[in-house]
Amino acid sequence: MNASHAKGSYVYDRNGKKYLDFSSQLMNVNIGHGNQRITDAVAKQMQEVSYVYPGMATDVRGKLGKKLAEITPGNLTKTFFTLGGAEAIENAIKLARIYTGRHKIIAHYRAYHGATYGAMTAGGDPRRFAVDSQAMPNVVHVENPYAYRCPWNSNSIEECGERAIAHLKRVVQFENPESVAAILFEGESGSSGCIKYPPMYLKRVRELCDTYGIMMIDDEVMSGFGRTGKMFGIDHHKVIPDIMCLA
């Protein structure tokens, strides 16, 4: 489709045909296309300061940091700004490894975290197969708590959740907990389909992380900013991660 313009919930092609944008592009045009307040704010900022390097402060960056501190859960009050979701994941992995002094990252098979090498390796999406030879080392995958087709043939979503936690714990133990820097997961399943977390699953992941000193990284790039009915997907589970990735 060759798009000519967009307004509100609709995108128009070069022939004037109107399309309802069900996905809001890459799940990121939450407030609609052509929002005049956004257009005015971008134009105003471009006229004032169009670019600064990371070591320089601006009022607008400070205001955004304060706003994020107000809406993020718990004591998540510090923000590191990047250029997008995949880069946020890359930096979260880097921070977790530096902070813990460990190297392994555990993530779900059915997950998508971005298309840069590290983020693509962390995701279990089959599209990564084409570049497996370039994969980031020290990433370990585990099964999702997918109750509809539970890998452990459970009879209920609760039972599937318990078995998924037992599986995750075994993998952590087999990999040596002292080598695991972080467990990375999506706040709500995105590109891998509608895989709902069983009740208590993320709370149990939080407990497991606390037990072994592992960092909990929550990828809210797709599920954040109200897309699940709450501000962030993890808010449905009343759990506070160590790092939250937004875009």
Q: Please write the tens of the pLDDT for every residue from 52-75.
A: 988 899 999 999 999 999 999 999
User: pLDDT digit string (tens) for 77-128?
Assistant: 999 999 999 999 999 999 999 999 999 999 999 999 999 999 999 998 888 8
Question: Could you tell me if 9 and 114 lie in one domain?
Answer: no
Question: Could you tell me if 193 and 93 lie in one domain?
Answer: yes
In a domain, 95, yes or no: yes
pLDDT of amino acid 97: 99
Question: Could you tell me if 130 and 238 lie in one domain?
Answer: yes
Paired sense of beta strands 139-142 and 104-108, if any: parallel
- 226 pLDDT exceeds 90? yes
In a domain, 28, yes or no: yes
Instruction: Give the residue numbers spanning the domain of 1.
Output: 1-51
- 129 pLDDT exceeds 90? no
With CA atoms as reference, report the closest residue to 222 among 88, 39, 106, 109. Answer: 88
Tokens at 140, concatenated: 């370990």
Tokens at 225, concatenated: 């900013």
Name the β-bridge partners of 215.
Answer: 182
Question: Could you tell me if 221 and 148 lie in one domain?
Answer: yes
Residue the block writes with tokens 């709370």: 203
pLDDT of amino acid 35: 95
Backbone angles phi, psi at 101, to 5 degrees: 75, 15
DSSP 23: T
Taking the whole predicted model, whether its pTM rises above 0.85 is answered as yes
Q: Helix, strand, or coil here: 99?
A: helix
In a domain, 96, yes or no: yes
CA distance 247 to 236: 19
In a domain, 59, yes or no: no
In a domain, 73, yes or no: no
